[in-house]
Structure 1
Amino acid sequence: MTLRTMLSEEVSPYLQNLGHQFSGGNSTFTQHMKGARFTIPNAQLLMKVVEEMDEDKILMSTAQDDVVPSGKRAR
């Protein structure tokens, strides 16, 4: 199974139904997910999205490492 197939056929429907499992369909999340569709048209675009998310994650973790909690000294 490809990543795109798994996202479109398993993850997306799971997320759409998640609100029904916990709130009976009355949550804000459920309302926002109503009618949601997985619309990444091809594997190449999905890979680009994944790569950019990886880059963002690296940038975010680097920025968090640079923050020193108050009361603690940087080493």
Structure 2
Amino acid sequence: MQRSRGQILWLHSKRVSIPEIKAVTDFLRTTISTLIRAYNEGGAAAAVDRRRWNRAAAALNPEQRLV
């Protein structure tokens, strides 16, 4: 899971409101809501960025992902 997506889910778990999450992460409200819904329905695997054009390197290495 990408760092910013993880941040959104972490903030949501701390009961931070969606407008506050939007201000911190600069994601659209609909993107935040969709991510939270996907995570609630399918867990961490559902929160992964699956866009075909996303060729960015992972923000975390495999060891950091286990923490």
Q: Same fold (TM over 0.5)?
A: no
Instruction: Name which structure has the greater RCO, CA cutoff 8 Å, separation 6+.
Output: 2
Bigger Cα Rg = 1
